[in-house]
Copies of this chain bind each other. A is one copy, B any other.
């Protein structure tokens, strides 16, 4: 012992891993790391993982189903102790995740989840956030509220659409499908779509679901010379600071990215550490969103 102290001994974690058949590392797959929502979430994951003595190995799917599958194969080969994943915009089939479960690797989905798999899930309360955002616009007198959102496959898309629809219903505004636009991740796609939407549908409000889409809306509106907020009422966003500058009275639905990351990591590590003891029940945890109102009819919904 004193000799160990003397030579500054620390056990070789690789040998330990081999012996104990665990790596004290968790894998994280996100669509894109250079995205405020996901980098915040990773922040939360790292926070918990470090506190509990785990390391975080990060993979990006770049919104591609193919890359997600490849990542999963790497994860399996790498022998991480567990996996946190937020699905790519293309992911429909989840057999790669089922493979993870067959290998008895603890798995937690966060933010972008899937109904097709039974596992722990941690999400924002997207329904509630979208409901509140839409109702806020309605209560400020808007009737033709457009909704520009993420690809239709994603769970977040469906949940938010539901919140939007239920809010309209509650206030007896008929649901108009032509006011809802799904938008992928190609830079040019959003711009075109938004231009057409504004010109053809003449909405009096837009409720978007990400940083990028909100910015594109602002661009389109500015370039078309439509005033904010007099003629159009807004919108969806991530960065409160930037939002505030763009339109000082803009309101926001804040997505709890950091908390989602923390909660997902807690769940995963708990699952890892009592893996052998008993079969556990799968839990879905909803983290509430918060509406920051800035005395106007403008609405932001945070990414992703």
Contact = CB atoms under 8 A, between A and B. Distances in A.
Contact of A14 (B14, B39, B76): B14
Contact of A57 (B25, B60, B74, B222): B25
Interface stretch (A118-126, A133-141, A196-204, A237-245): A237-245
Nearest to A22: B14
For the residues of A in contact with B, the DSSP-based class is helix
A56 to B, nearest CB: 6
A78 B57 contact: no
Nearest to A239: B242
Contacts of A25: 57
Contact of A242 (B78, B222, B242): B242
List 4 A-B pairs, minimum CB-CB distance, nearest first.
A34-B39, A14-B17, A39-B39, A14-B18
A58 interface: yes
A91 interface: no
A56 B55 contact: no
Contacts of A59: 46
A175 interface: no
Nearest to A245: B218
A142 interface: no
Contacts of A34: 36, 39-40, 42-43
A117 B202 CA distance: 61
Interface in A206-253: 215, 218-219, 222, 241-242, 244-246, 248
A74 B245 CA distance: 40
B246 A245 contact: yes
